Chain A
Amino acid sequence: MLATRAISLVGKRAISTSICVRGGHGVAKVDDYALPAYFDRRENPLPDVQFVTELSAEQKSLKEKEKGSWATLSNEEKIALYRISFKQSFAEMNEGTKEWKSVIAGMFFFIGMTGLVVLWQRKFVYGPVPPTFESEWKEKEVQRMLDMRINPVEGFSAKWDYENKEWKK
């Protein structure tokens, strides 16, 4: 408890330089990857740490000025303060990339490769097709379907002219 309170007093991101005293026994160095990270996300608008870790002298004086009345800050100073705390603005982080072109290109490529595989399969893997696909068989099949009056109202047999024994024009 004492250690965390001391760290929050020392300030954001300066934690890496402070020591984490554990029960008075020794010093545990806090590794960089274990600390809160900064990232630009629309869903998480206020990251745990500010973006700029080591402030230049100019930025330090600006931070001091920020402690006073904000009406005295010029527009450039406000923008500079924003850029200290954040890396990108919402407009910048939300703008689209050109990634979709690579995605579409990848899609076409893999569809093409699959097409080649399918063609090879048809030639070298599949056996012959059943006898029901031969044209003789199909002719007999169609004749039987017409005899049975399959779908005579709007479908198959509706398109056959039974008087003239031919397909309707």
Chain B
Amino acid sequence: MSLAKPAMRGLLGKRLRFHLPIAFALSLVAAAAFKYGVTEPRKQAYADFYKQYDATKEFNNMREAGIFQSVRPTGE
């Protein structure tokens, strides 16, 4: 009935030494995944949209659709 004496000290340190590097690595992975999966595509989408954007043309289309109060469609 001679069991080995269990570890009495350094339990938190041992746990931290194991889990902290993993936690940091996973956090970095999460941040990188979000950056390259979400923010970069979004920035690219906005850049592409405004490359071909003609503000006057869009304004006239919206005016004809009749949504503005300050300018009515050209017919009226």
Q: A: which residues have CB within 8 A of B?
A: 75, 78, 144, 147-149, 152-154, 158, 162
Contact = CB atoms under 8 A, between A and B. Distances in A.
Size bin of chain B's contact surface: 10 to 19
A79 B49 CA distance: 79
Main secondary structure of the interface of A (DSSP, over half): loop
B67 A144 contact: yes
B46 interface: yes
A154 B1 CA distance: 69
A147 B66 CA distance: 8
Contacts of B67: 144, 147-148
Interface in B12-69: 42, 45-46, 49, 58, 61-62, 65-67
Given A153-B45, A153-B49, A154-B42, A147 B65 contact: yes
A35 to B, nearest CB: 33
